[in-house]
Amino acid sequence: MKVLVTGGAGFIASHVVDALLDADYQVVVVDDLSTGRAANVNPRATFVQMDIRDSRLAEVFAAERPDFVNHHAAQMDVRRSIVDPVFDASVNVLGSINVLECARAAGVKRIVYISTGGAAYGEPEYLPCDESHPVNPICQYGASKHTVEHYLFMYQANYGLNYTVLRYANVYGPRQDPHGEAGVVAIFIGQMLRGDPVVINGDGEQVRDFVYVGDCARANLLALTAGRNGIFNLGSGRGTSVNEIYRGLKDLTAYRNEARHGPPKLGETRAIYLDAAKAGRELGWTPAVSLDAGLAATVDYFRTHESTRPVGVP
């Protein structure tokens, strides 16, 4: 069986590619390397460098005839989505429609689509958020990612194209880029290991749900054969503040300086964490890596792979 993974050179999807290959799937990676790294692509996978908006994507599908699609490729920078919402929608909505059209024409059995639980729900009406929580995003990224969920429903109803949606919480772990727009864990580790100042946006009491990348990769594998036409949160079910993350990483890295506080980010939800009980019931998935263990493993990775890489070098 063959899986085409969009964005497979990226942080999370490259771990998914590894898991698929280890489970004896054939894998084709499509990535334009705008944010992903060629070094992340497993050499056992077939690699095609291409933007998901490219009309030639249909030729890739026709040549490879994948049984499944794992759709990770996205514009994922919340701040860029606010500054340039047209670009955000171009990649996340129009690019995804191109993927859906190619999948429909190629007779793909199922699409695993990566959505967002952290940005789609907006300011929560209750916590933890389950999949029935109202979707009221307060940033363009959350809106564009959620929009594709409606297209998936329509393509299934009209064309029989099955899907599974995974709504991620805040994913962290090895291979996350510590430079520029990235998760707070990667940014803090990179700054701490270089001895740079650490800047916390706002007061640091923002609460997030942190889930380890290896756990997410395992969920993607399960989603190929379970949870058909369902939507599933992936998270730990508990909230952790940015200040707590800072203190934990400070201890792990032996960072000696105190953090600075900057202005809060526009479009940022104050507190959110996810109820992933449905994924447990229908996918057989629960997070296996504790936050303490995951942070320690991530710091170990960054010490050997990232700390000496200059800023701006891919």
- The residues that are catalytic are 141
What ranges make up the beta strands (E) of 250-300?
A: 260-262
For 63, residues 6+ apart whose C-beta sits below 8 A from its C-beta are none
The verdict on whether omega for the bond into residue 137 sits within 30 degrees of 0, i.e. cis, is no
CA torsion, ordered 170, 173, 179, 184, to nearest 10 deg: 40
Burial class of residue 308, CB neighbours in 10 A (0-12, 13-18, 19+)? exposed
Q: Are the C-beta atoms of 282 and 222 separated by less than 8 Å?
A: no
Q: Where are the alpha helices (DSSP H) in 84-237?
A: 85-89, 95-106, 140-159, 184-194, 213-223
Looking at the DSSP bridge assignments, the partners of residue 69 are 4, 111
Q: How many CB atoms neighbour CB 58 within 10 A?
A: 14
DSSP calls for 56-105: THHHHHHHH--SEEEE------HHHHHH-HHHHHIIIIIHHHHHHHHHHH
